[in-house]
Amino acid sequence: MGGGAGPGGHLTARPGGADPGAVVLATGARERSRAARFIAGSRVGGVYTTGALQQLVHLHGRRLEGRAVVVGVELVSWSAVLTLRQAGARPVLLTSTHARPEVYGPVHWGGRAALGVTVAGRTRVAAIHGSGQVSGVELVNLDTGARTVVPCELVVLTGDWVPDHELATSAALTADPVTRGPRVDAALRTSRPGVFAAGNLVHPVDTADIAALDGSHVAAAVRDWVTRGLGTAGRGEPVLAGAGLTWVSPGWLDRSAGVPARGRLLAWPSVAAPVARVVVHQGGLEVARRSLPWPASPGRVLRVPWSVLDSVIVGRGPVTVSLR
Ligand SMILES: Cc1cc2nc3c(=O)[nH]c(=O)nc-3n(C[C@H](O)[C@H](O)[C@H](O)COP(=O)(O)OP(=O)(O)OC[C@H]3O[C@@H](n4cnc5c(N)ncnc54)[C@H](O)[C@@H]3O)c2cc1C
């Protein structure tokens, strides 16, 4: 694509004319670091995010030894368990602040049974101890306040995603108030004409197939921009996450943008619900309510049919999507 990082790191895109250009940001997401999770204790070796662990093992063939505690119980946490085993380490415990499994039952129960790992719910890692190398993690039981130290030599921090939004921020794109990833409409157009955003940068995080679908979806909007100069977002209503949700994507409803990839609004639940009941408000009034035939869980994306926004009237004020 034409366009790119202009002076001062700002993104540039040129509509129409002899050299039309477009910029598609797809910088992905990463897991929050130890410091960002406020985990106290010693500065020691043996603490990784899943991303760092998988690069070390799968790209550089590193072997690892000892017992490992995995912080988080999302799909990616089980992926970290498999990577640890492949590298020679022994995962002994997964910890979660939530009471219920964050992944689908077969993954949770199958993983526990097949891989022999204990899962501790309602616990928070308060500190990592050691001298030079990890010697243990200090866990707090969120219900009783009791503290225990679990001996281990490795710690893997999983989930707790943050979009890699530095380029988007440097371009002063309108951002989601919670994730700080760029806000997009259903055509993946950002607030800046000719600048698009796709993948886990705008929905941290969904699986690889969904990120790939975004790639083919954004191509149509890029074509419209390059050939006809149609590229502005932000003319519709903001779609915001309400109670029970951390973020929703797309974050703008502009009818000219069509429907998102697979006709789905993506959302990240902050609570678990065996049946997901989605409620849409606009201007303080409830405009739609839908019970979905699948559960909601904090560790994975909730897919909501885009048609739940059919009764929203653009021009009547911001829209809030909540989980009851
Ligand atoms: C550790 C980890 C493990 C995962 N495991 C799975 C899995 O097993 N199965 C699954 O389906 N999904 C998995 N996912 C989720 C998802 O599938 C992947 O993140 C997927 O690759 C997302 O695609 P993307 O295009 O959004 O971003 P990415 O594939 O992450 O691509 C982003 C690219 O942008 C680059 N970048 C970032 N910032 C900048 C910058 N400022 N300037 C220039 N370049 C930049 C990055 O280096 C990277 O190359 C995982 C995600 C993570 C983080």
Exposed/middle/buried for residue 67 (C-beta within 10 Å: 0-12, 13-18, 19+): middle
Task: Choose the weakest-confidence range: 19-23, 48-52, 85-89, 200-204.
Answer: 19-23
Residue 283 CA to ligand 1 center (angstroms) comes to: 36
Give distance in angstroms: CA of 24 to centre of ligand 1: 15
Q: Where exactly are the structural domains of the chain?
A: 4-28+171-323, 33-159
Do strands 264-269 and 237-241 pair parallel, antiparallel, or not at all (unpaired)?
Answer: unpaired
pLDDT digits (tens, 9 = 90+) for 116-157: 888 999 999 999 999 999 999 999 999 999 999 999 999 999
Separation of 28 CA from ligand 1 center, angstroms?
4
DSSP 8-state code for residue 78: H
pTM for this one?
Answer: 0.88
Q: What is the tens place of the pLDDT at every residue in 262-295?
A: 999 999 999 888 899 999 999 889 999 999 999 9
**How far, in Å, from the CA of 281 to the mean position of ligand 1?**
33
What distance in Å separates the CA atoms of residue 321 and residue 324, rounded to the nearest whole number?
Answer: 10
pLDDT of 233 > 80? The answer is: no
104-111's contacts with Cβ under 8 Å and 24+ in sequence apart are 104/300, 107/75, 107/78, 108/73, 111/78, 111/81
Q: Which residue in the block uniquely carries the two structure tokens 């995080």?
A: 205
* Cα–Cα dist 286/121, whole Å: 35
Closest C-alpha to ligand 1, atom 5 = 76
pLDDT of residue 102: 76
User: Which atom of ligand 1 lies nearest, measured to the CA of 205?
Assistant: 15
Q: How confident is the model at residue 9 (pLDDT cuts 50, 70, 90)?
A: very low
> In the CATH scheme, what architecture does the domain 33-159 have?
3-Layer(bba) Sandwich (3.50)
Say yes or no: CB of residue 207 within 6 Å of ligand 1: yes
Take residue 155 and report the two structure tokens written for it.
């710690």
The confidence score (pLDDT) of residue 116 equals 80
Nearest CA to ligand 1 atom 4: 76
The yes-or-no verdict on residue 8 having pLDDT over 50 is: no
- Predicted pLDDT of residue 101: 72
Q: Does the pLDDT of residue 108 top 70, yes or no?
A: yes
Cβ atoms of 71 and 102 within 8 Å: the answer is: no
Query: Mean pLDDT over all residues of the chain?
Result: 90
pLDDT reading at 1 higher than 60: no
Q: What is the pLDDT of residue 129?
A: 97
**pLDDT, tens digit (0-9, with 9 covering 90-100), for 19-57:** 458 999 999 999 999 999 999 999 999 999 999 999 999
Is the shortest distance between the CB of 164 and ligand 1 below 6 Å? yes
Pocket of ligand 1 contains residue 312 by CB under 6 Å: no
Enumerate residues 6+ apart whose C-beta is below 8 A from 9: 167, 170, 171
pLDDT at site 5: 43
